[in-house]
Amino acid sequence: MKIVRALAGTAIVAAGLSGAANYGLGAWLHADWPGTPLRSETFETRGFPFGLGFDATGIALRDGRREATLTAAEVRAPVWDPLALTIRPRLPATLSDGTLSATLNAGTASGELAFGYGLPDLPLRRAAGRVEQAQIALASAPDMPFTAASAEAALARQPAGDYAAHLRLSDIALPEGAADRLLPGADLGDRIASVSADATVGFAHPPALHGPHPELARVHLATLSIDWGGRGLSASGDLSADAAGLAEGQIALTTRDWQSWFDVARRAGLLGRGEHLVESLLRSMAEASPDGSVSIPVSFHKGRMSVGPVPTGYMLRLAQRQ
């Protein structure tokens, strides 16, 4: 009987804590108190007494300068970790960061947000999302959607404070003409077979639920692979942002399709007056390679790019410093 009473008492306490947490979380989301990082227009708690959760509409996340919004979603969290949220948006969903708005539709879509318990900021522990058969349409161009067979991304805090980043995309179709608007004249085409990347990234201000907007400070690119229009390319290396947010460091680009990628860069005007020297260098490297592949360093100093020893004049900004 003592065991039964103990179990019953534990269940009652757990139910009470769950109900209180559900009510408190819902009240916090529904309130529009100054400085509240999360809010919602409506909410309905779910999971009581064994879990935490709510269905909400008009969800907004503030980061101090901007506000990201989501039309509606189911949100769940375990009782023992109420800041580890699983999010299933109600589709189609409209997402906005205050300046850019888009509508997401998909076969399936889910996300995770987990925050630490360090007050007052609540630092980000993990963020992840996955969609299948996705279609994203910008509000400014609703008839020109992006599509992908699958897409997944994750950001997870490491013990040293930086974040492990992971990205996988497959069978991407850009809106007609989007690639040419991105790199005019490059003739890349609007279909990308796959993109994958694994990296470690650091921020000037670590991402947090209630903190300043994070700005990229450094990137260790373990691997990046892309297959775009039958052209394969991989990259690895390290970049950091200087005081002005411009890139410093070096990336190694490796490909067997060097002539195709060279033509893309030349048509897009990325190589400047050094294009003939770059082509000669790539051809020499390919002829000396057993399989015809080349691996060439691309360096950035004060944001300006050099391909091998040849400066191109192209500039890369990693962060928009205030």
Q: Kindly report, residue by residue over 241-264, the tens digit of the pLDDT.
A: 998 888 999 999 999 999 998 888
The whole-model pTM stands at: 0.78
Please check whether residue 179 is in contact with residue 192, taking contact to mean a CB–CB distance below 8 angstroms.
Answer: no
Q: CA 261 to CA 180: how far, in whole Å?
A: 15
Phi first, then psi, for residue 228 (nearest 5°) are -125, 110
Q: Which two tokens stand for residue 219?
A: 């990137």
pLDDT at 23: 45
pLDDT at 287 over 60: yes
Kindly report which listed range (31-35, 46-50, 140-144, 147-151) carries the lowest average pLDDT score. 31-35
Could you tell me what percent of the chain has a pLDDT over 70? 79
Higher pLDDT pick, 21 / 267: 267
Characterize the bridge pairing of strands 146-157 and 67-77.
Answer: unpaired
Residue 149 CB partners (closer than 8 Å, separation 6+) = 132, 133, 170, 171
Give the pLDDT of residue 266.
Answer: 86
Band the pLDDT of 18: cuts 50, 70, 90.
very low
CA neighbor of 129 nearest in space, from 142, 148, 145: 148
Positive or negative, the CA dihedral 15, 20, 25, 29 is positive
pLDDT per residue over 124-178, tens digit each?
Answer: 999 999 999 999 888 878 888 889 999 999 999 998 889 999 999 999 998 888 7
Weakest mean pLDDT among 68-77, 193-202, 216-225: 68-77
Beta-carbon count within 10 A of 24 CB = 12
> What pLDDT is recorded for position 194?
96
Examine the pLDDT at 12 and tell me if it is beyond 50: no
Residue 228 CA, chain-centre distance (Å), reads 20
Query: What does the pLDDT look like over 165-217, one tens digit per residue?
Result: 999 999 999 888 878 777 777 788 889 999 999 999 999 888 887 777 788 89
State the DSSP string of 208-226.
BTTSPPP-EEEEEEEEEEE
